[in-house]
Structure 1
């Protein structure tokens, strides 16, 4: 059979798409890009506050926890202060070796360099169905589209897996270490509130916590695109290992701040659940990732989450938020995203809030 010139071009395009590692953003969301030209309100960033100069997050050396009681208590105070004032901080000497972090990054890059059609088949990668995600299916305008791809992997799928390949073995080691770090940090933050209990050990289990492996492809055609749109995290605590490229930004004093990458540090941020549990003492801060026109970016995030039936409530009075379960919170987030294109989050659960259907 002899193919026409147009047919040949079409088949070659299909082959390139099949072999490409990048998700088909432009093909899938072409209606959003078309609408952005017709409607200026959909163009990203015309009215956003400007990003002020790049800065370094509060830096905490966790080796101070082993330098005597006085230095240990001072270190805990610094962790608490950063969580109150910034909602973000970074830690060094955190107990996770540079070798593990480097191997994690190496295996992650290899994973994302696979052809797109292979990444969409999670079973071939021994991940649960639905682990691979990209873009924003609910986006109704460019401001709601995230130019990124990710694997969401439950810890229960990693820990005790036996390390059937280099990726799973490295992920298992990384997850075990970062889990211990997260547990130590939430225990410190709870203690600084005067709360000593096994709440987090009992509710945040391997079956409820997960890793998110992120890749942000180059985005030369749309310099104002978000890698991840502005959001707060729906967990207690997030631990992030990022590369040297940069792109993470957060809100501080009403302004967007660009976070200066520190290759030796892990970034920690407070999630919505901890803000509610602490009665607004610790802050879950809005943050985002911006794209890079020339370089791709990789990061690995660990989300410290409870079981869906866990009750989130503060023992401090007067309470800012009513009691709710994590499952209820997740359900409301999904409803808001489906209806509005973004989540409302904690305002849904304010005491006496008109948004709260459960009050």
Structure 2
């Protein structure tokens, strides 16, 4: 990924921003669409990794919409101080622009972002310089009590040099294994209005799901005497969370930040953590380092950042931290085998609808089993792990 994954935080901020008359001071607001301001939103973080860099362009959106509108048909360019230009093209995903060639930000150069939107408006960033950062020395998991909860903490140690930035931003991708609590050996096959019981050849017992972080995670070592980061919690998982149930992996990436970028992300984090859009402390406009060239009064939400990166991955299993007699969380929380209806019409209709799966033909009554129908069924999510993820293991996965 070429930009920080804070989509939900940006989305919340845009929603707040769209609900008020935006200005640079704090003032009350009400939820009226007529106060909406249509602003360009820029997410642009260029790293020292040789890769196809990414810039994301969207617009603020009104309360009646659920997602931002992509800014399409824009011309995006990153200019190096030696006049070398890196052109970006719009990918298959509207609003996502990727560099034509793979490149890395260099420490000896400054860079500037330029954007021309489809309607001819031009935007530019302040010149930015790559900030050296610390390396992640260790990424590890420990069972711990964190903020009153029992679970597993994922922690980072980093040793900072005198030249490294004191400020960092973190993102992660967590991948977890899912094992269906029940396996069905047979399934129902439909041919028109007819159905038959056939062997189930689909692999739906073991799956994997990968989820990116959606929080702004920041560290600041400027007040520490040794300038090192020790046992910094990047992610905490409550022991009741089913992502821990089998095998778990997390990839953590650390981005160096300038003090200005840190201030920008800190403000976004404060707004996203306010707890309510009706909070007495109402947000004003968050100043970034991108401006409109043709209209100095036009506001732009976003920050153009150059970061050095460091990353590590760790794996662990449930029983690395939890005893065998401790209740294991699972997807889903509970499963029930039952016999709906009085004939085959009811269970077959439910199976066609996708809510349940065939389990077996019903024989003699079983104590505690619900229903008296001729067929046993079970909720689809209890036997089909693809409800929660992919049945193909990621390329990086290690058992």
TM-score clears 0.5: no
- TM normalised by structure 2 equals 0.22
Normalising by structure 1, report the TM-score: 0.23
The higher radius of gyration belongs to 2
Higher strand share: 2
